[in-house]
Amino acid sequence: MSETEEKAAVAKTADKNDKTGNDAKKQNKKKPQKKYNLPRHKFWFAIGKPLTMAYLKIVAGFTRTKNNLTKRPYLILCNHACDLDPLMVINSVPGVVHALASDHLFKRPAFGKFVAHIAGPIPIVRAQMDIKSIKEAMQVRKDGASLLIFPEANCCFSSKTSYIAPATAKLVKQFKMPLALFNVRGSYMTKPRWSNSWRKGKTSCELVRVIEPEELAAMSVDEIYSAICEALSFNEMEYQREMHIKFKGHDLLDGAERMLYQCPKCGKLMAMKSEGDSIFCTECGYKVTMNSEGFFEGEELIFDSFDKWDDWQRQQAVKLVSEGNYDTTGQTPLIITPQNELYKARRASKNVLIGEGSFALYCDRMVFDTQNAIETDEEGNTVELGPKQFVWHFDDISKLSCVHKNRIQIAVGEKDYFEIHSRNTYRSAYAYMIYFYCLKRHAQGKELDFFGM
């Protein structure tokens, strides 16, 4: 054999060995697990429903209300007042239910994978569905499972159903599924989103209406939207005035300044401070306590419930902005708070710290000032950049939302979004959101009637 022929034979043998090795690797490599696997989810739901039902009874005094839903896939819409609401709805509907959930659920890798394996929730960011979320929701429909959406896109801060986007009706029309509309009752008093404590009373999940696909097809988008808003409209404090359910717990108002951010006596912003079952103003001393039915009591009582106090706060924001009682030159902030943390947020992934500092809302922009800005590369290495100012003009902010108890999420354009955290309950994310939307809509010449969550 010539030297050339010998080299060719060696090369051929090497190629054959490489191919055999690659084939072996392909065989040994595990196939990626299917995210939505109906048989797997049926198994876990059969085990999980009795367990979560027992948990809800113990923690929230939950009673499952009988309804006429049959074993078929539904598109389920429900009002949202507490983190336990998804469990309440799932235990009121037959079969497997996949819920649209905030991507914060997946920011803890181990827990997120565990929940994804069992229940297959669909992550959404910036409190809205993106293209990927819609595709996953469509897959759920094809697989024959029900889909749960909370159209408020967030737990309400006050005791009543908050804003529902009209685009919800278009989505319902697109899915062509039986529409089941539910009301959760008692969950706001069990664990308001601003609260640090739980309390036990009575909760339920009531089926208000079912609309079949044929009826939906004959309805206009406006008619569907009206039906959704009517069915999901609920005010816990009005319900309590009728039912007088007692909720037992401790520190009933602990954290309430996250929602009750303005003193109704002196009008000072960010001056309220909670302590046990009470909340008081650090400026003028105004003070109320909350009883077991969720109503306020006090010698100088101005508002006896959350909804009335919150309605007044919103009216004050509208009045201030519409009358121009603020610095319209942009030199002085309407709200400024120290001790905040700025993060770059990523879809269903851990947030990346950018810096610590003050956060201010001006008439036309939001500003974060830090003395220790940090830059993190893809490998997790950090570089200190020193002092830096981050400025987001209203025109660049596509959406501002409240996340968890007291976080602010700022969506810039279509892809970037940031989160601002604070351990100080004086800093109300809710207040920033209310005044941001008032200022932005006023600048656009629009009515001050929308306060997004």
- Residue 235 belongs to domain with CATH number: 3.40.1130.10
Give domain status of residue 65, yes or no. yes
Give domain status of residue 329, yes or no. no
For residues 217 and 78, state if they share a domain: yes
CB 451 within 8 A of CB 442: no
Give domain status of residue 33, yes or no. no
At residue 375, the pLDDT reads: 85
For residues 122 and 232, state if they share a domain: yes
Give domain status of residue 412, yes or no. yes
At residue 147, the pLDDT reads: 93
Give domain status of residue 8, yes or no. no
For residues 264 and 372, state if they share a domain: no
At residue 138, the pLDDT reads: 76
**Residue 297, domain extent:** 250-322
For residues 268 and 354, state if they share a domain: no
For residues 87 and 127, state if they share a domain: yes
Q: What is the mean pLDDT of each run of 10 residues along the chain (453 residues)?
A: 49 50 47 66 90 96 93 94 94 92 64 73 63 75 87 88 90 92 96 92 97 96 97 96 96 95 96 96 97 96 96 95 94 94 78 92 96 80 86 92 88 85 86 94 82 55
Which of the listed residues 270, 292, 322 is the one where a domain comes to its end? 322
At residue 439, the pLDDT reads: 94
For residues 119 and 185, state if they share a domain: yes
At residue 180, the pLDDT reads: 97
For residues 254 and 304, state if they share a domain: yes
Give domain status of residue 328, yes or no. no
For residues 99 and 147, state if they share a domain: yes
Give domain status of residue 26, yes or no. no
Which of the listed residues 296, 322, 348 is the one where a domain comes to its end? 322
Cα–Cα dist 44/262, whole Å: 46
Give domain status of residue 1, yes or no. no
The dihedrals phi and psi of 334, each to the nearest 5 degrees, come to -75, -40
Q: Residue 380 is part of a domain; what is its CATH number?
A: 2.30.29.30
For residues 60 and 157, state if they share a domain: yes
For residues 352 and 260, state if they share a domain: no
CB 351 within 8 A of CB 345: yes
Which of the listed residues 224, 243, 262 is the one where a domain comes to its end? 243
For residues 63 and 110, state if they share a domain: yes
For residues 261 and 299, state if they share a domain: yes
Domain total of the chain: 3
